[in-house]
Amino acid sequence: MKKGVATTFQIAAVFIGTIVGAGLASGQEIRQFFTEYGYKGFFGILICCLIYIIIGYMIICISIKYKLKSYNELINLVLRPKFFAKFTEGITTLFLISGAAIILAGSGSLMHQYFGVSKWVGIFVMAIISLLILLRDTKGLIEVNSFIVPSLIVVLLTLFSLYIFFYKDIVSWNYIKTVPMYKNNWLVSSLLYSGFNILGCSGVLVPLSSEMKNKKSLFLGIVLGAITLTALSIIINFLLLVNIPYIFKYEIPLLYIANRFGNVIQMMLLCIIWLEMFSTEVSDIYSVGKAMTQIFNISYKRAVFLVILIALPISQIGFVKLISVIYPAFGVISLIFMLECVYFYFKECRRT
């Protein structure tokens, strides 16, 4: 009983840690995908929660039944025709590796900006610590998220509580409804966001399903993770909405909000952002490493070492052109992937 509960919490932590990343922890992703749609952004967040639970459950069912070990096996099983599956596999791998490279670059920039050290110090610190965790395989992935995710929850709840205490006059649904909308297609935005995350998260869900094989604990972990992630997203979205239009001036919107509560809260948030960068780095490299063991028939440890070696030089390249091609393609593919997962689940997996 205790082991099942512990497993559920571990899966939830990995699920949250894989999706959150620095973009969500800083408030930037929530601003772009939900806050700019006014109060309707909250409906989009709730839709994401449902998609995470439904598609996440289908992924673990398919993975367990067909004994899949990595996202590339899932993609090649679910998607048709074969050339499209291979294309999706390639784009997903590029997306994960470029994400890992961007995080390395971001770590370097963050340490250079706030501590005045060389960017390479931040890059190598992130790379070395990531490698040490990754060499512990799935156990390392679970351990790091079991620490980082509770820390994230504590910091965000502290910031939210302080804001409610000091600014309780504007904490109301009536006020939220008066906040202007800057965009209208909130449903498309929420579908794209959930698709991005669920396809990227499949790189972690598939190997976890293969190793744990406990469908109930896996499903409960996804449900708990999705609900907790939704609650955190709602808190962030609320904090951003009540600070429009000032948040549009900052790359880290939540840091603008945290600044008014002193240096301690600001440093706590900065630490969480770095830790979330770290958790995403570990998840991305773990996902690609598991795929490489299947594609090239090499050991997992050698695979993660190679991924980090590839990501290091890429972290020094300008990403504008790369992201402008890969990210939109990944967004469209992620929607197709979700539809194909539903189709495959009901036609092949559930039927037999």
- Please compute the mean of the pLDDT values over residues 78-86 and round it to a whole number: 90
Non-local (6+) Cβ contacts of 183 within 8 A are 36, 37, 189
pLDDT band at 323 (very low <50, low <70, confident <90, very high): low
pLDDT band at 255 (very low <50, low <70, confident <90, very high): confident
Does residue 16 register a pLDDT over 70?
A: yes
| In the chain, where the domains are located | 2-345
CA–CA distance, 337 with 79 (Å, rounded to integer): 7
Q: For domain 2-345, is the CATH number 1.10.4160.10?
A: yes
pLDDT of residue 125: 92
The phi, psi pair for 234, rounded to 5°, reads -65, -45
- Burial code (b: 16+ CB inside 10 Å, e: under 16) for 282-312 equals bbbbbbbbbbbbbeeeeebeebbbbbbeebb
- Please compute the mean of the pLDDT values over residues 140-163 and round it to a whole number: 92
pLDDT of residue 54: 96
pLDDT of residue 25: 75
Q: Can you tell me which residue has the tokens 């992620």?
A: 334
Query: 3-class SS at 136?
Result: coil
pLDDT of residue 157: 94
pLDDT of residue 348: 82
Q: Residue 128 corresponds to which tokens in the numbers above?
A: 């070395």
pTM, 2 dp: 0.91
98 or 344: which carries more pLDDT confidence? Answer: 344
Least confident of 62-71, 111-120, 165-174, 244-253: 165-174
Q: Is residue 112 within 8 Å of 118, Cβ to Cβ?
A: yes
CA–CA distance, 281 with 310 (Å, rounded to integer): 13
pLDDT of residue 58: 95
